[in-house]
């Protein structure tokens, strides 16, 4: 037993230094998984900032300003600047080169208003043009205000109380804390960290199994008097270590990303400090272990690295797609989410971002699932090792 444990450390050390010498692969993983997250965060913060400045600008684009002096008067009283929309605004909205919705006023707007007809005013935006879409609600509210004012005025002229029109009053009360609101934007952060874990494990897992077969070094390796489990456990330990290392890099890469956001309101909402990073790593440890074992189990059946890459696609796909259940918020949080690896970790990390406490059950279920996956994976690799060596 003591010799097997010694052998485990020997294998672990060798595989680890071997994996860390694969500089080119490591560099690719670091660039794609570690730098990607902060960059996307930066891009999103840029978008949020542009939306905010648009809201501050208080501008409304009208097509046919001259035909609607009443509306113009109302808007200007709301301290909005009214501008004539460009002639080709439809085409420009479609091409996303124009980012404000346009209010189209019909030619006989004023006359219809006076006659008591109901003129039709269009708010033109393109739902594929996200920035124009974002301001639509604001314009709608604004025009709604205009309608209400007109109605109230005509009622007042006839001596009717304005309250008849509004038998009840509606007030908004938002339960979300600043942090919960922020997760709508930072919700993709756990996803990036998870990809870092996955791609960190992928290459090392394939190299220690299928790669070893392809090089023809598995057969001589098995001719050493080492227990099979010590060999497999050492390899698995090294793969899990590499994966955790990438995860740590990725988790901490968001900390400097935050400094860049400082000028924004987003930065105020974005609660991600060293404590959150540390919690992320604790949550990801079991996932890294399980992914290492599962990827090795899939790859040990393949004769070459290339073949292993093809067959591991299904694992990569599952880990990439499952968290999307959360990102797209399909049906809210369900109890089964905790039983699905990757999705469970995503759920837990989202909770950390929201500043919510983690319950015992929420920690134990994903942990148990990961331990089970790890055991099955390692057992399977140990079982297949000899067959793989001679085929």
Partner 1 sequence: MIEVRGLAKSFAAPAPTRDGGWRAWVRSRGKPAASAATSSVAPRIHAVRDVSFDAPNGRITGLLGPNGAGKTTTLRMLAALITPEAGTMRVDGIDVVARPREVLARMGVLSDSRGLYPRLTARENIVYYGALHGMEREAADARAQDLARMFEMTALLDRRAAGFSQGERMKTALVRALVHDPANIVLDEPTNGLDVLATRALRDSLRWLRSPEGGAKCIVFSTHIMQEVERLCDSVVVVAHGRTVATGTVPELLAETDERDFEEAFVKLAFVSERAGAGAAP
Closest CA to 235 of 298, 296, 304: 296
Residues 218, 181: Cα–Cα separation, whole Å? 52
Among 58, 184, 215, 303, binds partner 1 (CB under 8 A): 215
Residues in the chain, total: 391
Q: Which of 227, 264, 356, 384 is the binder for partner 1 (CB under 8 A)?
A: 227
Query: What would the 3-class secondary structure string for 206-238 be?
Result: HHHHHHHHHHCCHHHHCCCCCCHHHHHHHHHHH
Q: Which of 83, 94, 303, 386 binds partner 1 (CB under 8 A)?
A: 386
Segment lying near partner 1 (by CB under 8 A), choices 98-106, 192-200, 213-221, 325-333: 213-221
- CB of 15 within 8 A of CB of 238? yes
Rounded CA separation 101/136 (Å): 6
Residues 6 or more apart in contact with residue 311 via CB below 8 angstroms: 298, 299, 301, 302
Q: Closer to partner 1 by CB, 300 or 315: give it.
A: 300
Contact between 220 and partner 1 per CB under 8 A: yes
Q: Which stretch binds partner 1 (CB under 8 A): 14-22, 87-95, 301-309, 375-383?
A: 14-22
**Residue 226 near partner 1 by CB under 8 A:** yes
Which residues, 6+ apart, have CB-to-CB distance to 280 below 8 Å? 190, 193, 247, 251, 349, 352
Which of 100, 126, 212, 276 touches partner 1 by CB under 8 A? 212
Contact window for partner 1 (CB under 8 A) among 7-15, 83-91, 153-161, 288-296: 7-15
Q: Between the CA of residue 311 and those of 238, 315, 333, what are the distances in Å?
A: 21, 8, 31
Q: Kindly state the DSSP code that residue 338 receives in the 8-state scheme.
A: G
Query: Comparing C-alpha atoms, which of 194, 167, 296, 319 is closest to residue 239?
Result: 296
For 260, other C-beta atoms within 10 Å of its C-beta total 13
307 sits near partner 1 (criterion: CB under 8 A) = no
- Asked if 303 is part of the footprint of partner 1 (rule: CB under 8 A), the reply reads no
Nearest to 197 by CA among 286, 301, 276, 273: 286
Minimum CB–partner distance for residue 387 and partner 1 (Å)? 9
**Tokens representing residue 330 in the block:** 């399909």
Binder of partner 1 out of 118, 157, 223, 330 (CB under 8 A)? 223
- Per rule CB under 8 A, is residue 5 in the interface with partner 1? no
Q: Is residue 1 within the footprint of partner 1 (CB under 8 A)?
A: no
State which of residues 116, 167, 216, 331 lies at the interface with partner 1 (CB under 8 A): 216
Least separation in angstroms between CB 14 and partner 1: 5
Transcribe 268-303 into DSSP letters: HH----HHHHHHHHHHHHHHHHHHHHHHHHHHTT-S
Using the rule CB under 8 A, give the single segment among 5-13, 54-62, 85-93, 237-245 that binds partner 1: 5-13
* 225 interacts with partner 1 by CB under 8 A: yes
User: Exactly one of 6, 66, 137, 156 binds partner 1 (CB under 8 A); which one?
Assistant: 6
Nearer to partner 1, 221 or 318 (CB): 221
Give the nearest distance from C-beta 12 to partner 1 in angstroms. 11
How many residues sit close enough to partner 1 to count as binding (CB under 8 A)? 27
Q: How would DSSP label each residue in 361-382?
A: HHHHHHHHHHHHHHHHHHHHHH
Chosen residue from 11, 210, 233, 299 binding partner 1 by CB under 8 A: 11
Q: Does 31 bind partner 1 (CB under 8 A)?
A: no
Among 73, 97, 147, 217, binds partner 1 (CB under 8 A): 217
Contact footprint for partner 1 (CB under 8 A): 3, 6-7, 10-11, 14, 17-18, 21-22, 212, 215-227, 386, 389-390
């Amino acid at each position: 037993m003591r010799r097997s444990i010694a052998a485990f450390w020997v294998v672990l050390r060798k595989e680890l230094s071997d994996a860390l010498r694969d500089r080119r692969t490591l560099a690719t993983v670091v660039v794609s998984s570690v730098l990607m997250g902060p960059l996307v965060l930066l891009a999103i913060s840029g978008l949020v900032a542009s939306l905010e400045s648009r809201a501050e600008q208080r501008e409304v684009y009208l097509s046919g300003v001259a035909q609607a002096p009443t509306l113009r008067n109302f808007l200007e009283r709301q301290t909005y600047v009214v501008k004539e929309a460009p002639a080709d605004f439809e085409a420009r909205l479609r091409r996303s080169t124009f980012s404000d919705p346009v209010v189209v006023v019909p030619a006989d707007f004023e006359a219809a208003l006076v006659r008591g007809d109901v003129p039709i005013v269009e708010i033109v935006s393109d739902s594929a043009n996200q920035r124009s879409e974002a301001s639509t609600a604001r314009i709608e509210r604004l025009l709604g205000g205009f309608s209400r004012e007109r109605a109230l005025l005509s009622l007042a002229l006839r001596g009717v109380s304005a309250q008849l029109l509004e038998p009840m009053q509606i007030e908004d009360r938002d339960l979300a804390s600043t942090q919960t609101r922020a997760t709508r934007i930072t919700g993709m952060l756990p996803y990036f960290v998870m990809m870092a874990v996955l791609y960190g494990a992928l290459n090392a897992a394939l190299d220690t199994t299928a790669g070893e077969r392809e090089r023809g070094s598995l057969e001589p390796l098995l001719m050493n008097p080492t227990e099979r489990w010590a060999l497999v456990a050492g390899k698995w330990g090294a793969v899990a270590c590499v994966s955790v290392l990438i995860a740590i890099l990725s988790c901490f890469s968001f900390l400097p990303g935050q400094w860049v956001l400082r000028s924004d309101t987003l930065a105020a909402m974005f609660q991600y400090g060293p404590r959150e990073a540390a919690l992320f790593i604790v949550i990801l440890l079991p996932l890294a272990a399980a992914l290492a074992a599962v990827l090795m189990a899939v790859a040990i059946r393949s004769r070459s690295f290339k073949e292993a890459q093809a067959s591991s696609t299904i694992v990569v796909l599952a880990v990439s797609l499952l968290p999307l259940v959360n990102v797209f918020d399909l049906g809210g949080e369900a109890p089964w989410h905790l039983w699905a690896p990757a999705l469970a970790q995503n759920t837990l990390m989202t909770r950390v971002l929201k500043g919510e406490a983690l319950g015992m059950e929420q920690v134990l279920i994903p942990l148990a699932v990961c331990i089970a996956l790890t055991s099955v994976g390692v057992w399977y690799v140990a079982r297949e090792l000899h067959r793989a060596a001679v085929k």
